[in-house]
Amino acid sequence: MSDIPVLKVENLKKRYGNTVILNGVSFEVQKGETKVIIGPSGTGKSTLLACINRLVEPDEGKVYLEGEEITHHNAAKMRQKIGFVFQDFNLFNHLTALDNVRIGLIKVQKFSKQEATEIAMEQLRKVGLADKAHLYPSQLSGGQKQRVAIARALAMRPKLILFDEPTSALDPELIGEVLTVMIDLAKSGMTMLVVTHELGFARTVANEIIFMENGVIIEQGPPDQLFTNPKMERTKIFLRKLTELYGEKAR
C-alpha cells in the first residue's frame, strides 16, 4: 500500500484550439511528499492543476488517486478528496470565515451543524484564525483570507492539496504567515503539490522540484540538486531569471 503514490499523472495532454498547452506530462507524488512546480508564465502549470482536479477536462492521459483512475470520475465527488487553494482565495464573500470552512462539510459531506462547526473551528485554530471565525472576507487581510482557504481545504480531510501560486496575490509582508502555515502542513505529513515561485519555501520543504516549460516537464529533482546543479540549460536560465525577479527569499 505504501508504495502506491497518492497522485499519479500519466501522459496528460490538453489543447485549446490548435495550441498545445500540456504535451504529455507524467509524474507521481508519494504520500506525505511535497512537490513544487516552477516554470515560466503561460507554460501550463495552472492548466495541469486544473486537469488534476477536473476544473478542466484533459484531452488525453490519466490521473490516479491512491492507485484508482479518477480521470472520468464524477468531478464534484473527486474534489472532496483533492483540496485546491487558489491564488485569489476563492472565498464566498457573503459568508463568514467559519461558514466558508464548514459549508462543504454540511452541504457535501453531510455533517451535522455541530460536528461541522467543531471540525471547522479546529482547522481555523490550526491556521491561527480561531479569533476571526465570525469575520467576513472583506474584514480579513489577504494573508488571513488565504489561511481561511487553507483551513477550508483541510476541513474536507483531502488525500492531497493542490496550491496554485497561493502567495502571489499577497503583499510581501503577508506572504510569510501563509508560507509558515504551508511549511507546518508539509511537515505534518500532508501530501502537497504546489505551484510557487517561493524558492525559500521550495528549499525548506519540497522533496522534489518539477521545472515545466511549454507544456512539458524539462527536469525534476530534489531542490539541492535542481537549484545548485541543474542538468538542463533551460532550467539554469529560468532559475537565474527567478532569482533576479524575486530574490532568494530563504524563509
Contact positions vs ligand ATP (CB under 6 A): 16, 21, 39, 41-47
Residue keyed to cell 511549511: 183
Q: Which does 96 bind (CB under 5 to 8 A by kind): ligand ATP, Mg ion, none?
A: none
**Based on CB atoms, which residue is closest to ligand ATP, 96 or 196?**
196
Residue keyed to cell 486544473: 50
**Based on CB atoms, which residue is closest to Mg ion, 45 or 152?**
45
Least Cβ distance, residue 165 to ligand ATP (angstroms): 6
Check if the beta carbon of residue 173 is closer than 8 Å to that of residue 27. no
Least Cβ distance, residue 46 to ligand ATP (angstroms): 3
In sequence order, which residues have a C-beta less than 8 Å from that of residue 220 and are 6 or more positions away?
Answer: 27, 208, 209, 210, 211, 226
Beta bridge partners of 34: 192
Least Cβ distance, residue 5 to ligand ATP (angstroms): 23
**Based on CB atoms, which residue is closest to ligand ATP, 87 or 225?**
87
Residue keyed to cell 504520500: 31
Least Cβ distance, residue 43 to ligand ATP (angstroms): 4
Q: Which does 16 bind (CB under 5 to 8 A by kind): ligand ATP, Mg ion, none?
A: ligand ATP
Residues 76 and 174: their CA atoms lie apart, in Å, by 32
Angle, CA of 220, 13 and 40, to the nearest 5°: 50
Residue keyed to cell 472520468: 72
Q: Which does 114 bind (CB under 5 to 8 A by kind): ligand ATP, Mg ion, none?
A: none
**Based on CB atoms, which residue is closest to ligand ATP, 1 or 245?**
245
Q: Which does 47 bind (CB under 5 to 8 A by kind): Mg ion, ligand ATP, none?
A: ligand ATP
Residues 28 and 8: their CA atoms lie apart, in Å, by 4
Phi, psi of 94 (to 5 degrees): -90, 5
Residue keyed to cell 515545466: 212
Least Cβ distance, residue 16 to ligand ATP (angstroms): 4
**Based on CB atoms, which residue is closest to ligand ATP, 4 or 55?**
55
Q: Which does 53 bind (CB under 5 to 8 A by kind): Mg ion, ligand ATP, none?
A: none
Q: Which does 142 bind (CB under 5 to 8 A by kind): ligand ATP, Mg ion, none?
A: none
Structure letter (DSSP) for residue 138: G
> Which residues of the chain form contacts with Mg ion (CB under 5 A)?
45-46
Phi, psi of 101 (to 5 degrees): -80, -35
Least Cβ distance, residue 75 to ligand ATP (angstroms): 16
